A = this chain, B = another copy of it.
Amino acid sequence: MTARVTMRDVARAVGVSPMTVSRALRDDETVNEKTRHKIRQVANDLGYVYDTTAQAFRTQKSGFVAVTLPSINNANFAETFRGLSDGLGASGMQLLLGSTNYRVEKEEELVRQLLTRNPEAIVLTGGHHTDETRALLRARNLPVVEMWDLPTEPLGHVIGFSNAEAMAKLVTHLAESGRRRLGYIGASDLTDLRGAERRDGVIAKAAELGLPEVEFLDAGPAPVSMRHGAQAVSALGANLRSFDALVCVSDPVAFGVLSECRRMGLDVPGDIAITGFGNFEVASVSDPRITTIGVTAREIGEQVALLLEDVFAGNQRDGPRVVDVGSRLVRGETS
């Protein structure tokens, strides 16, 4: 167990000061080129490894960007993370990831934990947070980005879209195709706030269009996925026939609903229409293809990355930026 090789050791070996080593390793032009070369070589020979922890400590810059996702096991969020990760790669920032399991209390705990690492910015999924979380973030002078939502009271920058508006597009489309008896299938409790926004959007638009009241079909606590959609349908049994359209909180749920409907002998979309959300791969590959809302998951991540680069470069002085990336109806064969 040999002691760690530090700049001091390199400096001694070369016969310069640690300061010069520090400069040389950062390719500081003011250091004599030959010295620089020598230092690099000796550092290599000695097996010197740069200590990022010490740097982060000294400069008070961690090189981290903290990110919270509701779930890592969700193709949309994973794509956003990839877009963010790839986009931020150039600036040398590293992502510190945590998942909230769709709970604002978990988010608070997570934010607290992430903040101890001194991130240089924090990216939150969604616009709903506990008061404590908001206070924690305000206390720091930290760039904050909320994504995947258009919060009414943003904490900082926003790159998202309106879930209610997206659902309105679906409901309008269904109504125009003659559907009237809508059911909404989503997570049961109020933990999935984004899901609740979608539900409320459906209810509001249906009311506006004069459709009968939308029935809420409980698929269990968040996160809900394929199997929960299937279970919700099989729990309905013969009551299924009282609907002519099922609006689902996400594509995986819609796929479960679709499979179960077919197992039960229903014709989709003849007997019943089904819609999803998110334009997951399964929506476009399944037979029939699922009507859904296209969101630019990867682009959201990329845009956040671009925004953060501006922030880090000091090019974002004119207050928080709010970007609505929008969403679009993707017509499939289930409606």
Interface of A toward B, CB cutoff 8 Å = 1-2, 4, 47, 49-54, 56-57, 60, 62, 72-73, 75, 78-79, 81-82, 85, 94-97, 99, 112-113, 115-118, 135-136, 139-141, 225-227, 230, 252, 255-256, 259-260, 262-263, 281-282, 284-287
Contacts and interface: CB of A to CB of B under 8 A. Distances in A.
Given A141-B2, A259-B286, A262-B287, A116 B50 contact: yes
Q: Which 5 A-B pairs have the closest CB atoms?
A: A73-B78, A52-B116, A226-B285, A57-B57, A47-B139
A51 B116 contact: yes
16 contacts: A49-B112, A49-B136, A52-B116, A52-B117, A52-B118, A53-B57, A53-B118, A72-B78, A73-B78, A73-B79, A78-B78, A85-B99, A227-B284, A252-B281, A259-B285, A259-B286
A259 B287 CA distance: 6
Contacts of A225: 281
A254 to B, nearest CB: 11
How many copies of this kind of chain does the complex include? 2
- Secondary structure type dominating chain A contacts: helix
A244 to B, nearest CB: 21
Given A51-B116, A226-B282, 11 more contacts: A49-B116, A49-B136, A49-B139, A52-B116, A56-B57, A72-B82, A73-B75, A73-B82, A256-B285, A259-B287, A282-B282
